[in-house]
Chains A and B, each alone.
Chain A
Amino acid sequence: MIDLDDTDRALLRLLAQDATQGAGALGRVLGISQPSAWRRIRRLEEAGVIRGRRIGVDRAALGFGVTVFLGIKLATKGRVSLEDFERAVTAIPEVQVVQHVLGLFDYRLRVVARDLADFERVLRRRIMTLPGVGQVEANVLLSEEPRPGPLGTPAPPDRAA
């Protein structure tokens, strides 16, 4: 496991907000040189701490007005292979996230749809027909707020800008 100092944590916090800033700009914010910032970013990437980059999109503007989280319980555990279920559910384009969980449900899915009618179509035609699917619970997402997590207290806004 990689050890982080305060500068690494501040760097991660900045990159988690905007990964398009160059090492020079990040270095200036953090008070370190451009090569030093670059080396730190490389190290974080090589250690797998930065898993990748992802653009943010306005789903509503692209016509996806509804995001629903589904909790799915498999009906016939033992008879249906988890691999079959996972392969089938992963192939559905509207399913963005598939997580295997322990608790009330076996899987958690994040599903996008154009509207509630479109969601119903996805649910009936694609989800309910999955191999071994049992009880399904749906919760419509109203808001989501990613948090910085345990990376220490953020820099004051004037420094982070």
Chain B
Amino acid sequence: MRNFIQKLAIGEMSIQIDDTDRRLIRHLLADPDLSTADLATRAGVTAATCWRRLDRLRGAGVIRPAHAVIDWRALGYEVEVSLRFTLDKTNPRAFDEFIAGAREVPEVIGIETFLGRVDVRLNVIARDMGHYQEVYRRRILTLPHIADIEALMLVATIKDDGALPV
């Protein structure tokens, strides 16, 4: 079973991507709402080619269905803080237990792990500073295996368009 999964994974990775695929992906990244016909016109291919290419890219997992991007500020979450953690790595379960705990906190909207000075980053939102203080004290500081925390408070997002230089 494990062998089979590995082969499958290698099979997915070996899909060849050419310039036409890249062009389609570039247009889709810029405008995910494009119809297959419009996308074909913009990328300079026939609708049939476009459809076949997209089907193949989706099948291989190169592109995934579009998802909605939620604006938490519009829902009243005015505060967004990037919390950077160093964990106590003397405990081999530190990462797993810390991340399992972080998944239980509703105000955590993203979990990232890193190679570098920072081990884990949590993206935390709150309605206001009072609410943030409460989440921070009751839910974050109580997470297991924390060695150090640094906070970066978001002032403004200048760029976040999801583009890739494909």
Given A49-B71, A51-B71, A99-B154: A143 in contact with B113 (beta carbons within 8 A): yes
The residues of A that contact B117 with a CB separation of less than 8 Å are: 137, 139
Q: How large is the interface on A (under 10, 10 to 19, 20 to 34, 35 or more residues)?
A: 35 or more
Number of interface residues of B (CB under 8 A): 62
A145 at the interface (CB under 8 A from B): yes
Q: Nearest Cβ distance between residue A150 and chain B, in whole angstroms?
A: 4
Closest Cβ neighbor of A52 among chain B residues? B69
- Beta-carbon contact of B165 and A112 below 8 Å: yes
Instruction: Report yes or no: B107 in contact with A16, Cβ–Cβ below 8 A.
Output: no
Q: Give the residues in chain A near B112, CB-CB below 8 Å.
A: 69, 141-145
Given A50-B69, A56-B64, verify A90-B163 contact (CB < 8 Å).
Answer: no
Candidates B65, B162, B166; contact of A20 at CB < 8 Å: B65
CB neighbours of A147 from chain B (8 A): 103, 108-111
Indicate whether A97 sits within 8 Å of B107 (C-beta atoms), given known contacts A54-B67, A142-B115: no
In the complex, the answer to whether A99 meets B67 with C-beta atoms within 8 Å is: no
Q: Is B15 on the interface with A (CB-CB < 8 A)? A: yes
Distance between A144 CB and nearest chain B CB, rounded to angstroms: 5
Interfacial residues of chain B within 138-155, with CB under 8 A of chain A in the complex: 150-155
Q: Which of A20, A51, A103, A150 contacts B150 (CB 8 A)?
A: A103
**Are B70 and A51 touching (Cβ within 8 A)?**
yes
- Give residues 37-72 of B contacting A (CB, 8 Å): 60-72
User: Which single member of B25, B114, B154, B159 contacts A141 (CB below 8 Å)?
Assistant: B114
Known: A2-B75, A100-B158, A102-B153. Is A108-B82 also a contact (CB below 8 A)?
yes
Asked if B87 is at the interface (CB within 8 A of a chain A CB), the reply is: no
Residues of chain A having any CB pair with chain B under 8 Å? 1-2, 4, 12, 15-20, 47-64, 69, 71, 86, 89-90, 93-105, 108, 112, 137-147, 149-151
- The 3 A-B pairs of least Cβ separation, nearest first, read A139-B116, A56-B64, A15-B68
